[in-house]
Amino acid sequence: MEVMVEQIVVYGIVFLLCIIIIFFYVRKKKTASKITEKKIAIAKEEGLYEPVSLHPYINLNTCIGSAACVAECPEKDILGIIDGKAAVINASNCVGHGACFHNCPVEAISLRIGTETRGVDLPHINQNFETNMRGIYIAGELGGMGLIKNSVEQGQQAIESIVQSKNIGKKEVYDVAIIGAGPAGISATLACKKYNLSYITLEQDSLGGTVFTFPRSKIVMTSPMDLPLYGKAKLYDTSKDELLSLWQKIITKHDIKINENTKVEDIVPQSDGTFKVITKNEECYLCSNVLIAIGRRGSPRKLNIPGEESQKVAYRLLEPEHIMNENIIVVGAGDSAIEASLLLKDHNKVIQVVRTETLTRCKPKNREKILDANEKGEVQLLYESNLISISHDSCTVKMDREDTIREFPNDRVFIFAGGELPTNFLEKAGVQITKRFGYVVKKHS
């Protein structure tokens, strides 16, 4: 009898411990859910909830709430857990590393472009990366694949498709003209060297394309990739600088030429099936095939104001540590503009021109930092204002809030007004564009 009583007591204690453990587990889950819900509410208020490009889509019917996606994402507060299911928080801040869907144990995550209500213009591309225009290929971000690893794979695969097409080997004609020297363009260039194709690679800015504009410490790679002429590059938590250094090392070793600061204006089909690639400087290259490997943003959006063609005007900030004791105007209200102002403020006089009445399209931390800098007088924020002209030593700003026009001494201007989709550029070459909603990007291993 005593033994039975002891057993009942032991079972009771075990049961009570289980109840306590379950209670605290459930409470922890509920607390985590509330925190995620609060973050989502803030993201919606700040305009960061809706995706602007590549973003994770979660199948709630498949998701088991393992939180592997949250743990593996190198960015903060892109994903969270609500009621045992994964949820997207700040979709606008997702840069498409792909770590979330690679590490989901039940494949509940896919990467998509556009939503059910917001369509995205995408070109028609077949399984060989060829468009409706025979001889014109597209690889990388422009075709819907923003992941660096997959863009690299597509660049190489597109060149392999060109080799298999046998549309090469014509005299006095390049086998391939590669437009863009980002991940896909660099990979394609290396593949051309590997397969002994004659090529010309044209980049409107610098080696690395969009990757080059990221902050130096930004994580851009989370998994290994195969590079032509190099093999498997074992990259984990790789920064922009590390990736660019690797590319530069391979390019130098194999004596590969990239024509930087060369913007392509037109691709003109010829009657014999070749193409004329015409640059902004009116240079002309004849080729059998064209591989377009540019970003979705295309070219920086300009303000189209007097003086904007001045050499002191730039659309991205490079090496801010070399800019000292200057009067600088930064145009824009997004993260790029704010981060530029914050990087320049310590050694320069910075004025940031903001078209809107508040800062709504930026990360909370960036907003907090720039407002603090403004309050301390380190940066001067001009709300409801527009830059209307640029001269040699000054800039004119129309300030709607004060209903005045003011002139400011100026040495340098940075304009962050977004980018223009290269839709017209593609359509002029005959490439068909379709608006797609919630387009699922093909998953690569």
**What's the Rg (C-alpha) of the chain?**
26
Cα-flanking dihedrals φ and ψ of residue 43, to 5°? -60, -40
What mean pLDDT do residues 255-273 have? 90
Q: Is the pLDDT score of 342 beyond 50? A: yes
Pick the CATH number of 28-113 from 2.40.30.40, 3.30.70.330, 3.30.70.20, 3.50.30.10: 3.30.70.20
Question: Which residues make Cβ contacts (< 8 Å) with residue 76, sequence separation at least 6?
Answer: none
Question: Which residues make Cβ contacts (< 8 Å) with residue 364, sequence separation at least 6?
Answer: 42, 46
Dist CA 328 CA 61 (whole Å): 52
pLDDT score of 297: 65
Q: Is the pLDDT score of 343 beyond 50? A: yes
What mean pLDDT do residues 126-135 have? 91
CB 260 within 8 A of CB 189: no
Q: Is the pLDDT score of 208 beyond 70? A: no
Entry pTM: 0.65
pLDDT digits (tens, 9 = 90+) for 380-428: 999 999 999 999 999 999 998 888 999 999 999 999 987 777 888 899 9
CB 289 within 8 A of CB 186: no
Q: What residues form DSSP beta bridges with 329? A: 351, 413
For residue 194, the Cα-to-chain-centroid distance in whole angstroms is: 28
In 78-138, which residue ranges form alpha helices assigned H by DSSP?
A: 99-103
pLDDT score of 221: 47
pLDDT digits (tens, 9 = 90+) for 143-158: 765 567 778 888 999 9
Q: Provide the CB-side half-sphere exposure for 297 (13 A, CA).
A: 20
CATH of domain 313-417: 3.50.50.60
Among the ranges given (1-10, 360-369, 396-405), the one the predictor scored with the smallest mean pLDDT: 1-10
Pick the CATH number of 121-300+422-440 from 3.50.50.60, 3.30.70.360, 3.40.50.970, 1.20.1740.10: 3.50.50.60
**Mean of all residue pLDDT scores within the chain:** 83
Question: Which residues make Cβ contacts (< 8 Å) with residue 231, sequence separation at least 6?
Answer: none
- Where does 133-241 show beta strands of DSSP type E? 136-138, 174-179, 199-202, 219-221, 225-227, 231-233, 238-239
pLDDT digits (tens, 9 = 90+) for 217-258: 554 545 566 777 777 766 655 666 777 777 788 888 888 888
Dist CA 118 CA 50 (whole Å): 10
Amino acid (one-letter) located at 59: N
CB 434 within 8 A of CB 319: no
Q: Provide the CB-side half-sphere exposure for 21 (13 A, CA).
A: 6
pLDDT score of 362: 78
Dist CA 189 CA 126 (whole Å): 21
- Say if 121-300+422-440 and 313-417 have the same CATH topology: yes
* Closest to 336 in 3D by CA, of 403, 275, 415: 415
> Exposed e or buried b for every residue in 95-124, given b needs 16+ CB within 10 A?
bbbbbbbbbbeeebbbbbbbbeeeebbbbe
- Domain ranges within the chain, ordered by starting residue: 28-113, 121-300+422-440, 313-417
